[in-house]
Amino acid sequence: PRDGAALKPGTRPYDRSWMRDGAMIAEGLIRLGAVEEAAQYLEWYAPYQFDNGKVPCCVDSRGADPTPENDSQGEFIFLVAEVWRATRDEALLRAVWPRVVRTVAYMDELRASQMAPNAAPSRRHLYGLMPPSISHEGYSARPAFSYWDDFWALLGYKEAVELARALGDADAVRRFSASRDAFR
């Protein structure tokens, strides 16, 4: 359901807008021709981004939730790319572009936290992954590595490269491509 521009995955008792759900609902809306509603959601959610580039996992009447869920960043960039592909609204893309750049920098920072050069051999398989988070309700007591965090980060990097190309930002294409390629 919609609550103004907010997209919510459930009924009134589930009164939050989650980036994960909102990005996928927006994709569905675009496929159904409701492009303006998807763009309105992007414009509504984007200002809730934290100054350090973190995208909140959800927003409710209290504002942005700072819970460490590391999939939100990639989902946000995916949302921007989906809206861009559907609208080709360059003014909107330029308006949210600084947020995309900050989001990529935040993802790089998160991944760098797992790149300790002196890591124990038993932890080297985690090198460059997104750090543990509570990106699933079952992990709230103890953060864990979540492959969907890495999936969304990788997709976010891919989409950020596409958006940088659309804007002709060659420097961002190089930087974002290097971050994306580090996952391979």
Question: pLDDT digit string (tens) for 164-180?
Answer: 999 999 999 999 999 99
Please report the pLDDT score of residue 24 as a whole number.
95
Instruction: Look at residue 128 in the predicted model and tell me its pLDDT.
Output: 83
Question: Which spans in 88-128 are helix H?
Answer: 90-112
Q: What pTM does this model have?
A: 0.93
Average pLDDT over the chain, rounded to whole? 91
CA gap 174, 60 in Å, rounded: 36
Euclidean distance between CA atoms 80 and 69, whole angstroms: 19
Dihedral angle of Cα 76, 78, 80, 85, to the nearest 10 degrees = -170
> For the segment 81-121, what is each residue's pLDDT rounded down to a tens digit?
999 999 999 999 999 999 999 999 999 999 988 877 777 77
* pLDDT (0 to 100) of residue 161: 98
Please determine, for residue 182, whether its predicted confidence score (pLDDT) is greater than 70: yes
